[in-house]
Amino acid sequence: MSINSVGPRWRAALAGTVGVGLVLGLAACGDGGGDDSGEDTPSAAAIDCAQFSSFGDLKGKTVSIYTGIITPEDKPQIDSYKPFEQCTGVTVKYEGDKAFETQVLVRAKAGNPPDLAYVPQPGLLAQLVATGKAVEAPKSVSDNVDKFFGKDWKAYGTVNDKFYAAPLGANVKSLVWYSPSEFKENNYKVPTTLDELKTLSDTIAAKDKKPWCAGIASGEATGWPITDWMEDFMLRLSGPEKYDQWVKHQIPFNGPDSSAALDAVGGYLKNDKYVNGGYGDVKSIATTTFQDGGLPIVDGGCSLHRQANFYAANWDKDTKVAEDGDVFAFYLPGKDASSKPVLGGGEFVVSFANRPEVQAFQTYLSTDTWANAKAKLSQGWVSANKGLDVNNLSSPIDKLSAGILQDPKAVFRFDGSDQMPAAVGSNAFWKQTTSWITGQDTKTTVDNIEKAWPK
């Protein structure tokens, strides 16, 4: 009754809203087309359709995708599928969801999984495989991964010696954001060793400016940026072999290597002279959102912010992200100039169906063809696909990231907390490092995380 009484008025209002939305949407398209992706709308002509003929006639079939990649990154994803859709006549149904990481498990357990899911953590992949609903990747995908990706990347998509998931996108976490103009004015040099980084921090601090800024608040995931910091230092101070043992819990979490890494992080993040530029004291790191964390660089509140390449999405539209712009990033140096450890992450394509159209699409996603098509369409996206031509990337930060990933000297390691069991990687590790930043000592912190490791 009450609903009817507002009916006509509401309908009129809604009609207006939809109309406005349409017009604005069109206007936005007109604006955006010119400066980023307008000219190369991909089509079947760009790729070799013959590679899908072995999958038979797929016309009219549908493949459903479920992912945490949402606006604005979803549009280049969807557009990059068009050549495949035109070749095969398959419709790709894309579903982006901010709550993907919890919902995908619910759906898999209940027997309602999508055809494909883009999983950002090897740990979650293992959980999905444990539901018994995931299916192994077909040979065509496995062959592509052998051809286009490093062995380590294939290993991240492998559970219990069975290969499930091919890598999709990647990100580089060993980056420090800075202001090129500030560096130029003050004659600061981009550091090439950890010692130089420390010296640079001291130099800035001596000018009465807090060099670093950071933010770790992220709702239920609060604390994760510190886990990245710690992994970066674990990798640098103890080396990749120790890092692997640490992630697999072959050495305890409260061992000397681990404590040393966290203390080294504390040298920056718990140093009152270094943080938290633009936001206050050390504790303010805990309540500053990770998205806001590095923004004071632009206003001169701080000079350095360690965060992955995807942080590029958080700068305002009018901030120029380039080597000669307002902000840019440099590689977080190794212990010495000769070693080049890189911490990063990425998504993996896990399948829950082995219908031919699903396999055909999986195969497409694992090719260099797709990686290059995607690269041309997007900003803030890179892949570890060796067939990716860096020249196809348009933004400077993407070029930098891809360059780091493809550097033959680089030793890549996947984000450790994403591989640890969920009780640690998405709970205790976050929680304890948050307590650590608000005052808890290093020993208690690593002891508590060790205690939380599932027996």
Partner 1 sequence: MTDTLAFWPFDPVETTSGKVVQMLAAILVFIAIMGIILFLASLAKGRSGDRAVGYLYLAPTLLMLLVGLVYPGLRTVWQSFFNAAGDAFIGLDNYATIFSDADQLTVLRNTVFWVVVTPFVATAVGLIYAILVDKARLESAAKALIFLPMAISFVGASIIWRFVYEYRPNQGSVKQIGLLNQVLVWLGAEPHQWLIDSPLNTFLLIVVMIWIQAGFAMTVLSAAIKAIPDDVIEAARLDGVTAFGMFRFITLPSIRPAVVVVLTTIGIATLKVFDIVRTMTGGQFNTSVVANEFYSQSFRSDNQGLGAALAVLLFVLVIPIVVYNIRQLRASEAR
Partner 2 sequence: MSSAPIAPVTVSDAPLKAPRETAAGKAKKRLTSPWASLFAVVLAVLWTLPTFGLLVSSFRPQRDIRTSGWWTFFSDPQMTLDNYRSVLGTDQAGGLGDYFINSFIITIPSVLIPVTLAALAAYAFAWIRFPGKNILFVAVFALQIVPIQVTLIPLLTLYVDGGIAGTFWPIWLSHSIFALPLAVFILHNFMKEVPATLLEAARIDGAGHVAIFFRVLLPLLRPALAAFGIFQFLWVWNDLLVALTFAGGGNAVAPVTVALANLAGTRGNAWHLLSAGAFVSIVVPVLVFLSSQRYFVRGLLAGSVKG
Asked if 316 is part of the footprint of partner 2 (rule: CB under 8 A), the reply reads: yes
Region of 16-24, 55-63, 143-151, 438-446 interacting with partner 2 (CB under 8 A): 16-24
User: CA-CA distance, 150 to 158, in Å (whole number)?
Assistant: 13
Region of 51-59, 109-117, 173-181, 338-346 interacting with partner 2 (CB under 8 A): 109-117
What's the N-to-C CA distance of the chain in angstroms?
58
Which helix (H) or strand (E) segment holds residue 427: the answer is: none
Asked if 110 is part of the footprint of partner 2 (rule: CB under 8 A), the reply reads: yes
Q: Look at residue 279 and give the partner it binds from partner 1, partner 2, none, a contact being a CB closer than 5 to 8 Å depending on partner kind.
A: partner 1
Cβ atoms of 235 and 265 within 8 Å: the answer is no
CA distances from 430 to 109, 161, 219, 230 (A): 26, 29, 11, 11
Antiparallel, parallel or unpaired: β 91-96 and 116-119: unpaired
Beta bridge partners of 74: none
Q: Look at residue 112 and give the partner it binds from partner 2, partner 1, none, a contact being a CB closer than 5 to 8 Å depending on partner kind.
A: partner 2
Asked if 21 is part of the footprint of partner 2 (rule: CB under 8 A), the reply reads: yes
Q: Which residues bind to partner 1, rule: CB under 8 A?
A: 102, 105-106, 127, 130, 217-223, 278-281, 283-284, 286-287, 299, 301, 421-423, 426-427, 431, 434-435, 438, 454
Which one, 347 or 357, has the nearer CB to partner 2?
347
| Residue 123 C-beta: closest distance to partner 1, Å | 9
Which one, 225 or 341, has the nearer CB to partner 1?
225
Cβ atoms of 188 and 322 within 8 Å: the answer is no
Interior angle at CA 217, CA 211 and CA 220, nearest 5:
160
Chain-centroid distance of CA 31 in Å reads 28
Q: Look at residue 284 and give the partner it binds from partner 2, partner 1, none, a contact being a CB closer than 5 to 8 Å depending on partner kind.
A: partner 1
Asked if 289 is part of the footprint of partner 2 (rule: CB under 8 A), the reply reads: yes
Chain-centroid distance of CA 363 in Å reads 22
Count, residues near partner 2 per rule CB under 8 A: 49
Asked if 13 is part of the footprint of partner 2 (rule: CB under 8 A), the reply reads: yes
- Give the sign of the dihedral formed by CA 109, CA 110, CA 115, CA 119: negative
Sole binder of partner 2 in the list 42, 68, 225, 277 (CB under 8 A): 68
> How many CB atoms sit inside 10 A of residue 7's CB?
9
Which one, 145 or 286, has the nearer CB to partner 1?
286
| Residue 17 C-beta: closest distance to partner 2, Å | 6
Which one, 20 or 106, has the nearer CB to partner 1?
106
| Residue 107 C-beta: closest distance to partner 2, Å | 7
Region of 40-48, 244-252, 291-299, 417-425 interacting with partner 2 (CB under 8 A): 291-299
Burial of 98 (0-12, 13-18, 19+ CB in 10 A): exposed
C-alpha closest to that of 436 among 274, 278, 263: 263
Beta bridge partners of 170: 346, 382
Cβ atoms of 354 and 254 within 8 Å: the answer is no
Asked if 320 is part of the footprint of partner 2 (rule: CB under 8 A), the reply reads: no
Which one, 284 or 369, has the nearer CB to partner 2?
284
| Residue 114 C-beta: closest distance to partner 2, Å | 8
Which one, 5 or 338, has the nearer CB to partner 1?
5
Q: Look at residue 317 and give the partner it binds from partner 1, partner 2, none, a contact being a CB closer than 5 to 8 Å depending on partner kind.
A: partner 2
Which one, 218 or 339, has the nearer CB to partner 1?
218
Give me 106's structure tokens. Answer: 């619910």
Sole binder of partner 2 in the list 29, 155, 206, 423 (CB under 8 A): 29
User: If DSSP codes are grouped into helix, strand and coil, which group holds residue 174?
Assistant: coil
438 conformational bin, left if phi > 0, alpha if psi -120 to 50, beta if neither: alpha
| CB neighbour list of residue 438: distance below 8 Å, 6 or more residues apart | 283, 286
| Residue 270 C-beta: closest distance to partner 1, Å | 15
Cβ atoms of 363 and 209 within 8 Å: the answer is no
Q: Look at residue 426 and give the partner it binds from partner 1, partner 2, none, a contact being a CB closer than 5 to 8 Å depending on partner kind.
A: partner 1
> How many CB atoms sit inside 10 A of residue 184's CB?
10
Cβ atoms of 163 and 136 within 8 Å: the answer is yes
Asked if 112 is part of the footprint of partner 2 (rule: CB under 8 A), the reply reads: yes
Residue numbers at the binding site for partner 2 (CB under 8 A): 2-3, 5-6, 9-10, 13-14, 17-18, 20-22, 24-25, 28-29, 66, 68-73, 93-99, 103, 106-107, 109-112, 289, 291-292, 295, 299, 310-311, 313-314, 316-317
